[in-house]
């Protein structure tokens, strides 16, 4: 015989589960926003590199795709003074 009680209506477990679900949703939204910002940074950096240095090779594209968020931010700042592609990644 199946149990037909809704666990969310339980006085003890219901509030705990609701809070955990809300926390999970908030974390998911935050992670999604971070990923979106990172994607935007990559897109802008790629456009700037193409505008400044021309066509992007597959190996450079792979390198740009592997940059962390902090590295992307630094590369976006460095593009202003970069004399070569290498200047984006070293100093």
Contacts of 58 (CB under 8 A, 6+ apart): none
Q: Does 89 have pLDDT greater than 70?
A: yes
- Provide the whole-model pTM: 0.72
Q: Are 76 and 45 in contact (CB under 8 A)?
A: yes
Is the separation of the CB atoms in 85 and 55 below 8 Å?
Answer: no
The answer to whether 56 and 64 are in contact (CB under 8 A) is yes
Residue, of 5 and 33, whose pLDDT is higher: 33
User: For 13-48, how does the pLDDT look when each residue is reduced to its tens digit (9 = 90+)?
Assistant: 889 999 999 999 999 999 999 999 999 999 999 999
52-85 pLDDT per residue, tens: 999 999 999 999 999 998 999 999 999 999 999 8
């Amino acid at each position: 015989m199946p149990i037909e009680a809704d666990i969310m209506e339980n006085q003890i477990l219901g509030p705990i589960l609701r809070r955990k679900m809300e926390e999970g949703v908030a974390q998911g939204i935050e992670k999604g926003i971070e990923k979106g910002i990172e994607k935007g940074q990559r897109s802008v950096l790629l456009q700037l590199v193409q505008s400044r240095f021309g066509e992007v090779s597959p190996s450079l594209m792979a390198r740009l795709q592997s940059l962390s968020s902090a590295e992307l931010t630094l590369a976006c700042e460095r593009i202003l003074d970069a004399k070569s592609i290498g200047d984006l990644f070293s100093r």
